[in-house]
Amino acid sequence: MIPLLVSDIKRTKYADAWMLQQRIMALRQSAALEDILLLTEHEHVYTLGKGSDDNHLLASEEELKAGGTDVFHIDRGGDVTYHGPGQIVGYPILDLNNYFLDVHRYLRSIEEVIIQTLVKFGISAGREKEMTGVWVQGEKIAAIGVKVSRWVTMHGFALNVNSDLTKFNRIIPCGIFHKGVTSMQRVLNREVPFQSVQKALVHSFADVFGCQPRWIDKEELNTMTLNLTTQEKEKELSQNLAPK
């Protein structure tokens, strides 16, 4: 089975997680690191993808500042979405050469991971025609937005577990006017154990992608990636200095 590192990097500011993703993606593209799934829970943030319309962010600058909510224009596909406490965000950084060279299939596989996870908690979820994401009774419970470069993936998915859904009132999520947003907590009418959902997601991911997960903690991940990045830079420098 394909090895998969898994790391829960705990609650993060969006900028910190984005920088970590970029560092790992570069290492994955150079084959210095295995495939990895990062799991996090962000501080309040709105992100706008390459296909976004700024008018879909309804909150004013004053409102955003007062609520301590960051805004980032980023390099994933899709429109505007919200990340915050109570939401599991997953960033798979995979070399699709190990799986299939088909971005459409990759998106459907991520959806399948979430659908299978929700079944384990008694929630029947599915897809909506011509829309990316996972839905429960016509409301979006998970958003997906990715970037693929040299067949290595970045960005990923966000599953609303115990999310503050009022934050979605200040955007038009993914530019979809006529659909609502929901969470596991709302569907089940109770708070859902966050860590249990996280572990179920990893199991479903392993099943769908045929991986063998190995958990590493945040400190080990940071040390590993920093050391590997230094080694890669030294290798590049020595190659540039070598006689031609």
By annotation, the residues acting in catalysis are: 174
CB contact set of 150 (below 8 Å; sequence gap of 6+): 29
96-116 residues labelled b (16+ CB within 10 A) or e (exposed) = beebeeeeeebbebbbbbbbb
Q: How far is CA 125 from CA 16, 76, 113, 117, 122, in A?
A: 31, 24, 11, 10, 10
Q: Which residue has the tokens 């429960």?
A: 136
CB contact set of 189 (below 8 Å; sequence gap of 6+): none
- Amino acid identity of residue 43, one-letter, is E
Q: How far is CA 17 from CA 11, 133, 139, 192, in A?
A: 9, 22, 27, 24
